[in-house]
Amino acid sequence: MVTRPLKIVLTEDDGPIRERLARIVGGWAEAELCAACANLTETLAAIGTHEIDLLITDLRLPDGSGIDAIRLLAKQQPKAEAMVISVLADERSVLEAIEAGASGYLLKDADSMDLIEAIRDVIAGRSPISSRIARVLVRRLSERVHVSGAEESERPSLTEREMDILWGIAKGFTYGELADKLGISRQTVPVHIRNIYRKLQASNRSEAVFEAARLGLIQL
């Protein structure tokens, strides 16, 4: 565990929710809340002035998207982690954030225990994934294989193990069931997830180009 308190920036436009989350984080001895921001401008400013360990941000902000904050953080402070908060943890916005550099996500109504547990996991190099997010990922990856073929090197090259885990989660198996099936420890499953996220982030740039070409091809 970290020896010094975790420096955290929190961004949430809804006042009561921001206060609630700030209260939980502020009450956690191992963390130090550097700033609680209500919009993108404040967040970007906070990232510019503080050296932080973790950014927790909502995606829909009055003056922009939390994803821009995650991108800036990944650029300026590559060692810092980012998490998104969402009411539903819907797969599209979460995946977009992950591709921008986020490592985890939280539900807005998560209670203090869950929230602190989630932060601990992300800082320790473990990432969460829901079956819905896994399903979208599997679909996207297999679509890429179907469509591209030639652009094999452009897509994130997941290991066989990582693919197995993604498939298993998409199929609705629990971490425990998967770990038993694959003969690994339950704790390493989220580590594999983190690796998958990093590969997604890396392939995001070339992916955007590829996706555009694919659309162009269809329009032809």
Partner 1 sequence: MGSPERVKAWLFLIAIIVAIGMLPNLIDVSPPEGVLTITEAQFSLKEENAGAAVALPHNWKPEALYDLTTGIYRLSFEVVETSGEALFVFIPAARHSIEAWVNGQRAMSALDTAWSVPASGYSFLARIPDGVVGAGENEIVLRQTREVGWLPARLSQVSVGTADAVMPAYRLSNFLIEQVRAMTFALHIVLTIGIATIWTARRHDTVFRWLGVISITSLLVVLTQSPLVPFGAREQFQSTAAISAVGLMALGTALAIAGRRRPRPLLPAIVVVPAVLFLLGQTSLVPFPVVGLISAAIGLAAYLAAAGLLIHEFVRSRNWDAALLAVPSALTVWFGLHDILVVTGLYDDPFLLAAYVRTLMLLAIMLILMSRLARSLNGLDNANETLRQRLAAQEAELNLLHEKERAQATQLVREHERQRLMQDLHDGMGGHLATIIALAERDGRGGEEIESAARAALDDLRLVVHSLDLGDGDLRAALAAFRERLEPQLRRLGIVFHWSTENLPHVAGVTPRNALSVLRILQEAVTNAIRHGPARRIAIEGGATQDQRAVLEVFNDVTGPCHAGTGNGLGNMQRRARDLGGYVSFKMTDDGEGANLSLLLPAHLPE
* Residue from 30, 110, 147, 148 in contact with partner 1 (CB under 8 A): 110
Residue 49 CA to residue 122 CA, distance in Å, equals 23
Q: Which is nearer to partner 1, 157 or 174 (CB)?
A: 174
* Contact call for residues 76 and 55 (beta carbons, < 8 A): no
Q: Which stretch binds partner 1 (CB under 8 A): 27-35, 39-47, 103-111, 199-207?
A: 103-111
84: left (phi > 0), else alpha (psi -120 to 50), else beta? beta
Which runs of E-coded beta strand occur in 12-103? Answer: 31-37, 54-58, 60-61, 64-65, 81-86
Segment interacting with partner 1 (CB under 8 A) among 38-46, 89-97, 140-148, 205-213:
89-97
Stretch binding partner 1 (CB under 8 A), from 130-138, 145-153, 156-164, 186-194: 130-138
Per-residue contact string for residues 12-51; x = within reach of partner 1 by CB under 8 A: --x-xx-xx--x----------------------------
Does the footprint of partner 1 cover residue 151 (CB under 8 A)?
A: no
Q: Is 205 in the site for partner 1 (CB under 8 A)?
A: no
Q: At which residue do the structure tokens 């961004």 appear?
A: 11
Question: Minimum CB separation from partner 1 for residue 1, in Å?
Answer: 21
Minimum distance from CB of 142 to partner 1 (Å)?
A: 12
Tokens of 157: 């090259």
In contact, 175 and 126? CB cutoff 8 Å: no
End-to-end CA distance of the chain: 55
Site residues for partner 1, 152-181, by CB under 8 A, read 169-174, 177
Q: What is the 3-state secondary structure (H, E, C) of 103-171?
A: CEEEECCCCHHHHHHHHHHHHCCCCCCCHHHHHHHHHHHHHHHHHCCHHHHHCCCCCHHHHHHHHHHHC
> Vertex 202, ends 94 and 63: CA angle to 5°?
45
Contact flag: residue 109 with partner 1 (CB under 8 A): yes
- Which of 41, 131, 188, 195 forms a contact with partner 1 (CB under 8 A)? 131
> Residues touching partner 1: how many (CB under 8 A)?
32
- The residues that touch partner 1, with contacts defined as CB under 8 A, are 14, 16-17, 19-20, 23, 60, 86-88, 90-92, 107-111, 113-114, 130-132, 135, 139, 169-174, 177
